[in-house]
Amino acid sequence: MSTSLGTLEELPEEYRAAMADAGVAPLWPMMRNVLPHGAPKPVTATGHWSYPALRPLLLRAGELTPVEKAERRVLVLSDPGRGAGAMMATPSIYVGMQLLLPGETAPAHVHTPSAVRIIVEGQGGYTVVDGEKLPMEEGDLVLTPGGEWHDHGHEGTEPVVWLDALDLPLFVYLEGSYAKEGPLQAQRNRPDASQVEYRAAGLAPARRLGGAPRRYPMMRYPWARTEAALREMARWAGDGPVEMDFVNPETGEDVLPTMGFTAMMLRPGEAVRPPISSTSAVFHVVRGRGRSIVNGTPHEWGPKDVFTAPCFAETDHLAGEECFLVRIHDRPFQEKLGYHEERAR
Ligand SMILES: [Fe+2]
């Protein structure tokens, strides 16, 4: 493989002008930009958003901008490699911190990207998806998959904050991102599917001839159940991180086509050195304090913080105390591209 390729400047001026007129360009001067040797060159940089710093800014937005003027009162966590305003935290994942005040509602809408909320603080918030009312309790994972009508409301007395994670960058890249609005949905008078059909792991409603489960059968993953499962695993697991993937209870596949979610438990003092992965990741700290080093950059994190790791990052975690995190990643998308890769360290 040649190490130095021809440059644009080496070509005669009249030839360059003729190419521009014809709407073509030579590949060789640009090829290393799109196909670097050995490993990709991510633009994305690791970021860390401390919740104690973010929270006052979010509450201020609640004072400055009524929800009717914002529709979604969100502070976007922009990838530092692209700068403030970038609508992405990693190449494939957008995250934003959203505030809903008591009595507020977000209008019913549907969009092409898929979204997941992780509830950060507050009680009384809810999301309605396809008529199913999903209570939002701290740490819960609530899905609003692409193409599913949803709206939000708040019946409590304190601010509710959640982290939105969307595969928005992929849809923007595909020029396929759009939304529609409609009237608030009628709510079915019953608890959500996590409390009815899918109460116990390993059990699903009996199959009947001609009957098929919904494409997204369970929209809410209550944190209390996730934490209990992690703790039980930790009792019996050997060394190494205790991790569980959030899956579709009917298929065992990831909860969404593009984004994956993994709950992590780190024991007090535990150090974790995961393999290098082709996936990018957003970490949300549900509880606990610790330190992660991403590509040499240290992040001292605490409860409700968010930090990110670009593709192929060298990441180390050290738990200062018992910690629970949720890792949002793009493995499902990469697997669909036939691409997902891990490298030992
Ligand atoms: Fe939405």
Task: Measure the CA–CA gap between 335 and 75, rounded to whole angstroms.
Answer: 30
The pLDDT value recorded for residue 305 is 98
The pLDDT value recorded for residue 173 is 97
CA of 311 to the centre of ligand 1 (A): 26
The pLDDT value recorded for residue 1 is 62
pLDDT along the chain (345 residues), means of 10: 83 96 95 89 96 98 89 94 97 97 91 98 95 96 97 95 98 97 89 96 91 93 98 88 96 97 96 96 98 98 98 97 98 97 94
Angle at 255 between CA 128 and CA 239, to 5 degrees: 125
Q: At residue 215, what is the residue type?
A: R
Task: Measure the CA–CA gap between 193 and 248, rounded to whole angstroms.
Answer: 12
CA of 108 to the centre of ligand 1 (A): 8
CA of 125 to the centre of ligand 1 (A): 15
CA of 345 to the centre of ligand 1 (A): 39
The pLDDT value recorded for residue 3 is 67
Reading the block at residue 43, the tokens are 């633009």
Reading the block at residue 267, the tokens are 């024991």
CA of 143 to the centre of ligand 1 (A): 10
Q: How many residues in the chain?
A: 345
CA of 196 to the centre of ligand 1 (A): 25
CA of 229 to the centre of ligand 1 (A): 29
Task: Measure the CA–CA gap between 257 and 125, rounded to whole angstroms.
Answer: 26
Task: Measure the CA–CA gap between 321 and 18, rounded to whole angstroms.
Answer: 65
Say whether 116 sits in a helix, a strand or coil: strand
CA of 109 to the centre of ligand 1 (A): 6
CA of 33 to the centre of ligand 1 (A): 35
Exposed e or buried b per residue across 5-33, where buried means at least 16 C-beta atoms within 10 angstroms of its C-beta: eeeeeeeeeeeeeeeeeeeeeeeeeeeee
pTM over 0.75: yes
CA of 112 to the centre of ligand 1 (A): 9
Nearest to 264 by CA among 242, 248, 249: 242
CA of 142 to the centre of ligand 1 (A): 12
CA of 111 to the centre of ligand 1 (A): 7
